[in-house]
Amino acid sequence: MDIRRDVFQAIADPTRRAIITLIALQAMTPNAIAEHFDTTRQAVSKHLRILTECELVKQETKGREIYYQLEIDKMKEIDQWLEQFRKIWETRFNQLDDLLSTIKKQKNEK
């Protein structure tokens, strides 16, 4: 469990994706998070470490509890990578749209 540590690697694991979704709206403690999963608290702790290492998550200590919160801005990195493809699929959609309206026009002209 070392070396490469980026957002894409982090979201590859389904448990980590679930954790991200879970804490997206409100910060939670490792114990509280672990209750939602079928693994040990320590396993969740490891996931949180990975999420912390790639800065998808930040901690806030309150007494002996540590609240983990999603760094929503980091999620934008994925969004930014998708940008290049979004351009492509929007273009294709418009082309399909053009095609459909052409067909419609031809129909009306009959």
Partner DNA sequence: TATTTATGCAACCATATAATTGCACTTGTA
Partner DNA sequence: TACAAGTGCAATTATATGGTTGCATAAATA
Among 26, 31, 95, 101, binds DNA (CB under 7 A): 31
- By C-beta, is 12 or 88 nearer to DNA? 12
Shortest distance, position 19 Cβ to DNA, whole Å:
10
Shortest distance, position 63 Cβ to a second copy, whole Å:
27
- By C-beta, is 24 or 100 nearer to a second copy? 24
Question: Please, what is the Cα angle at 35 between 55 and 14, to 5 degrees?
Answer: 50
Q: Which does 75 bind (CB under 5 to 8 A by kind): a second copy, DNA, none?
A: a second copy
Q: Is 79 in the site for a second copy (CB under 8 A)?
A: yes
Kindly state the tokens that stand for 105: 């026009």
Among 5, 11, 52, 55, binds a second copy (CB under 8 A): 11
